[in-house]
Structure 1
Amino acid sequence: MVRRKKRSGVLRRSLLLALGIVLFLIIGLYVYFGIYFRSHFFYQTSIEDVKVGGMTAEEAVEELRLEVKDYLLVMYDRDGNKYQIPGVEFHYDYQPLGEEEKLIDEQSSFLWPVRIAKDKKLEMNRSITYDEALLKEKVMALGCLNEEQMQKPENAFIQMTDAGYELVEEKQGNYLIADKLYARIKAAVDMGESEFTFTDDLYEKPEVTADDAVLTECMAKIQAFFGAEITYDMGEDKEVVDSGVISSWITVDENYNVTFNEDKVASFVQSLASKYNTYGDEREFLTAKGDTVTIGGGDYGWVIDKEEERAQLIEEVKNGEVKTREPVYSQTAVSRNQNDIGNTYVEVDYTNQHLWYFENGTVKIESDFVSGNISKGNGSPDGVFKIVYKKSPAVLKGEDYESDVTYFMPFAYNVGFHDASWRHGKFGGTIYKNSGSHGCINLPEEIAAKLYQDVAVDTPVIAYYREPVKLTAENTKISNAYSYYDEEKEKKKEDAAKQFANRPADQPVPNEGERVAEDGSIEPAP
């Protein structure tokens, strides 16, 4: 019994001793680390992104200094190009302010058992020093600030092209504002940033963009005109007034005011008329005998009414109309093709005193005739004409004659086809040279009757001489005869030619509508 009590007491003392030792060790360990963390950072501690766990303030300073020593600022422009400036190039360095000691003092070292294993990220005011002049020098040396590589922004504008006006969008360029860029880089360095991308505010911007109200309004006005497309049906040809043509009628000033130039429309209509009017034009005509003669003059052919056409075209363009049509004509012909005479016409050969009536290319009527008396200056007018009207019966009156005829078909001024019973069946040959008419085409009555019956009003009449003649009668002048000879005008030309030939070498040469005065000077012709 006594032995058992002894054993039990020894065991209790041993247990108490062991517990005491463990408690001592725990207290000692607690006190040790409590004292240790009064001068060291808790494990798992970092200052910003630098791990300083277990370090003293001095060791943390060195670690921070090492991290700063490797500082590299990386930048990207908006095109993705990369630029960088190492900190060592502008003496980037870390200067301690004692903040590390304060952070250690504030970490409550004897609470280490509950904080030692927790991640702790501390923030503090880091004192960074660098050479600002060197930094600015490095910034200004960046390739992105090279004047040869930078492009200035370009404003949006409206330009004229072969296809018309177009809106050219602005160009952003890549011209950096150096002072702004330096300020942004300096701010990044001050904040310890290691990477950033240039923002749009660092670049010069175009002052006028494609969505500018003035530009969009201007283009809207232009497009309203460009919506029009007028196609002229000119027979074998087509003339199209589209945006390419209309653009030449529009002017846009420096303030983007749009003006529609109606005078240019008039010029276009004039060019259309010059190209397609056939009134009085020379034509190569294949005769009934199979040869070709050149004949012009007369009053036959297409004539565009320039004033009416101009007014209609202006209205259509302003309304944005799309259509195909003929021009407004003041006079028309049989065909709009290159051969505007067609294949139904009356051919009058004055030299051979013979005529043919072709209907759809086939001779239906032919006959000899007697035309105007050449020797008395009454030669019949040559040219391309058309039957003006038909009358039966009719009375032909002149200054010294009056003749009753059964059929009369005028084609020129006071000149036409008619029967001539007083000829007693004698027609053709050379009668016209000395015993011809006052200008009309005298025909056998049966031929005049057939012509009157078969030939319609507006049928073309092609009348020609095969040898040169000088027509001087008033009716040939009024009829725009191809061979009309203006004696007064020709005399003036001859006089001018003589005067020019005899002029002194230093005498000025008169232009059209001018003449040389007696004193040798140039004056307007009377």
Structure 2
Amino acid sequence: MERRKKSLWKKIAATVVIVSVILIAATYAGFSLFFEDHYYYHTKINGDDYSYKTPVEAEAIMYQEFQKYSLEIQGREGMYDTILPAEIDMEYIFDDSLINIKREQSPLLWILGFFKEYSYDIPQLVEYNEEILDEKIDGLTFFKTENIRAPSDAYLTYSSEGKCYIVVDSSPGTDIVKEKTAQVIKEAINRMEFSVDLDEKDCYRYAEVNADDKTLNELAVQANKYISANIIYNWNGSDVVVDGDVISGWIVITKDSATLDEEKIREFVTEQAELYDTYGKNRIFHTTDGREIELKSGAYGWKTDKEAEIETLTAAVKNGETQSREPAYSYTAAAPGQQDIGNSYVEIDLSNQHLYLYVESAIIVESDFVSGNASRGWNTPAGVYGLTYKARNAVLRGEGYETPVNYWMPFNGNIGMHDATWRGSFGGQIYETNGSHGCINLPLENAKIIYEYIYTGFPVVCYY
């Protein structure tokens, strides 16, 4: 009985194994039949999953995707446009690639699809009307005149807030290269890409000079050296400041140099001289007898030595110097400002033949005198002058005369004040017929007093 039981179980087990093998073989064979025209599990074509799909089904799916296709074209500054297949008569063309993939996958080896991935890249073939596409490209928003702006190079500009030159970065603009753009778009359509970025594809023109340009930054250093200069003038009593705001107007920046426009500096110095110089200008003067008169200019006043000052100022700016000073003068006056005569001067009233010496607004001496002989045309000229120099025991020489004097004080060429010991009287109408050659003849004692108080440049005011 035991033997019979064991034999029975062996038969049953063998039968089960045989049946199982048959079932498994039949099942595997059935799947093999399925995979005769279906793709393995884990089959990807052009990145998309086509597991268990037939080539026909894959073609249908691809065609459906094609129906949804459009190319979005992105550009600079948020510009974009699209191209649809219908706009260019575009059609999707299928070749034998999907069938060939299936041929590569043996139906008997379908089980391998559960253990590894099968990836395929096949060409996506399209056809379109080339002429229509070219017309479409021509009309894209990127090529409209109002949307095209040329790139601009980085440049230097002066910042009045920071009082320095700064580098302004280049602007890429929107100037697009048409030929390159058309090529990029066609390549994207041929590959059925859904988007393309024209900037990433280098379809735009770029600026030649950017903010990191070595030469540009060297020019900034040079220009900033110039504007670091700070010169505070005392220009005939008025403050004139030359700082970065002023100097920036004198700097000329080119592609490879930062220089000072010396003509601009000349204009600046000339302008200040015209504004503050008093030399050669008429003045309002209040006479001792209470009149307000306009004095002729004469050879007196503040006069800027423009050539010397232009040279000095240019050098100071080039070196970036800080200074507080007066400009160079070729002539100076007794007092700063437009009223440059001050309160110490010799007042010569030619009409009344009377002189006053003022020192610090106080009359030190007043005196009658004899001026130039009017009858012979030697009238003493009116005007404002500065004492040229003074000398003791001088000999005055002229045509037909040689006269020694004790106190000689010239103020207008060969015209000056001096003692005239040969005269017995002064003042009145003597000058009309018996005047001097143009000098102011004074009594000895008064000439001595005047001589002691005045000095080179001391104002001498003559008027009628």
TM over 0.5: same fold?
yes
Cα distance change on mapping 1:384 and 1:27 into 2, 3 Å: same
Q: Does residue 20 of structure 2 align to residue 22 of structure 1? A: yes
Of 108, 112, 119, the residue aligned with 1:122 is 119
Equivalent position of 1:364 in the other structure: 364
SS at match of 1:173: coil
How far is 1:80 from its partner?
Answer: 3.8
Cα distance change on mapping 1:55 and 1:218 into 2, 3 Å: closer
Distance 1:261 1:13 in 2: 117
Q: Does residue 287 of structure 2 align to residue 290 of structure 1? A: no
How far is 1:242 from its partner?
Answer: 6.2
Distance 2:438 2:138 in 1: 98
- AA partner of residue 125 (structure 2): I
Distance 2:92 2:412 in 1: 112
Alignment of 1:438-449 (within 5 A): 438-449=437-448
Equivalent position of 1:428 in the other structure: 427
Alignment of 1:374-389 (within 5 A): 374-389=374-389
RMSD (CA atoms): 4.0
How far is 1:277 from its partner?
Answer: 4.1
How far is 1:219 from its partner?
Answer: 7.3
Distance 1:263 1:50 in 2: 74
Equivalent position of 1:518 in the other structure: none
Of 98, 103, 111, the residue aligned with 1:100 is 98
Distance 1:263 1:71 in 2: 67
Distance 1:33 1:7 in 2: 39
- AA partner of residue 106 (structure 1): E
Equivalent pairs, count: 460
**Which string of whole-angstrom CA distances, capped at 9 and with x for unpartnered residues, describes residues 463-509 of structure 1?**
111xxxxxxxxxxxxxxxxxxxxxxxxxxxxxxxxxxxxxxxxxxxx
How far is 1:460 from its partner?
Answer: 0.9
Cα distance change on mapping 1:202 and 1:365 into 2, 3 Å: same
Equivalent position of 2:408 in the other structure: 408
Distance 2:83 2:74 in 1: 12
Distance 1:418 1:318 in 2: 51
Q: Does residue 452 of structure 2 align to residue 456 of structure 1? A: no
Contact 1:92 1:128 in 2 (8 A): no
How far is 1:346 from its partner?
Answer: 1.0
**Which string of whole-angstrom CA distances, capped at 9 and with x for unpartnered residues, describes residues 126-178 of structure 1?**
35222142444433333223333222334667899999999876543212222
Distance 1:152 1:403 in 2: 85
Distance 2:399 2:295 in 1: 30
Contact 1:225 1:319 in 2 (8 A): yes
- AA partner of residue 235 (structure 1): N
Bigger shift: 326-335 or 258-267?
Answer: 258-267
Equivalent position of 2:323 in the other structure: 323
Alignment of 1:7-406 (within 5 A): 9-113=7-111, 115-118=112-115, 120-133=117-130, 134-154=132-152, 170-198=170-198, 199=200, 201-206=202-207, 231-239=232-240, 272-316=272-316, 319=319, 321-400=321-400, 403-406=403-406
SS at match of 1:418: strand
Distance 1:280 1:140 in 2: 72
Contact 1:70 1:87 in 2 (8 A): no
Bigger shift: 158-167 or 428-437?
Answer: 158-167
Cα distance change on mapping 1:179 and 1:377 into 2, 3 Å: closer
Structure-2-length-normalised TM-score: 0.82
Cα distance change on mapping 1:450 and 1:103 into 2, 3 Å: same
How far is 1:284 from its partner?
Answer: 0.7
Distance 1:161 1:19 in 2: 94
Contact 1:165 1:222 in 2 (8 A): yes
How far is 1:224 from its partner?
Answer: 6.8
How far is 1:207 from its partner?
Answer: 5.5
**Which string of whole-angstrom CA distances, capped at 9 and with x for unpartnered residues, describes residues 178-230 of structure 1?**
22222112212222322332125212344666777887788787777666665
**Which string of whole-angstrom CA distances, capped at 9 and with x for unpartnered residues, describes residues 433-453 of structure 1?**
344444333333332232222
Cα distance change on mapping 1:333 and 1:84 into 2, 3 Å: same
How far is 1:76 from its partner?
Answer: 1.9
Bigger shift: 345-354 or 121-130?
Answer: 121-130
Cα distance change on mapping 1:64 and 1:319 into 2, 3 Å: same
Distance 1:378 1:275 in 2: 35
- AA partner of residue 24 (structure 2): I
How far is 1:25 from its partner?
Answer: 1.2
Distance 1:389 1:5 in 2: 161
Distance 2:144 2:402 in 1: 101
SS at match of 1:61: helix
Distance 1:343 1:268 in 2: 32
Distance 1:127 1:428 in 2: 122
Contact 1:296 1:384 in 2 (8 A): yes
**Which string of whole-angstrom CA distances, capped at 9 and with x for unpartnered residues, describes residues 272-309 of structure 1?**
55444433431111112232111114322233344444
Distance 2:258 2:32 in 1: 87
SS at match of 1:372: coil
How far is 1:28 from its partner?
Answer: 1.2
Contact 2:236 2:277 in 1 (8 A): no
Distance 1:249 1:6 in 2: 124
Cα distance change on mapping 1:382 and 1:200 into 2, 3 Å: farther
SS at match of 1:385: strand
SS at match of 1:83: strand
Cα distance change on mapping 1:331 and 1:5 into 2, 3 Å: closer
Distance 1:413 1:64 in 2: 110
How far is 1:385 from its partner?
Answer: 1.9
Bigger shift: 51-60 or 213-222?
Answer: 213-222
Equivalent position of 1:491 in the other structure: none
Equivalent position of 1:478 in the other structure: none
Cα distance change on mapping 1:47 and 1:91 into 2, 3 Å: farther
SS at match of 1:375: helix
**Which string of whole-angstrom CA distances, capped at 9 and with x for unpartnered residues, describes residues 33-58 of structure 1?**
12322222223323223332222232
Which consecutive unaligned segments of at least 5 residues does structure 2 have? Answer: none
Bigger shift: 217-226 or 28-37?
Answer: 217-226
Contact 1:309 1:328 in 2 (8 A): yes
- AA partner of residue 128 (structure 1): L
Cα distance change on mapping 1:10 and 1:268 into 2, 3 Å: closer
SS at match of 1:79: helix
Cα distance change on mapping 1:450 and 1:92 into 2, 3 Å: same
Cα distance change on mapping 1:287 and 1:95 into 2, 3 Å: same
Contact 2:93 2:127 in 1 (8 A): no
Cα distance change on mapping 1:217 and 1:20 into 2, 3 Å: closer
Contact 2:124 2:190 in 1 (8 A): no
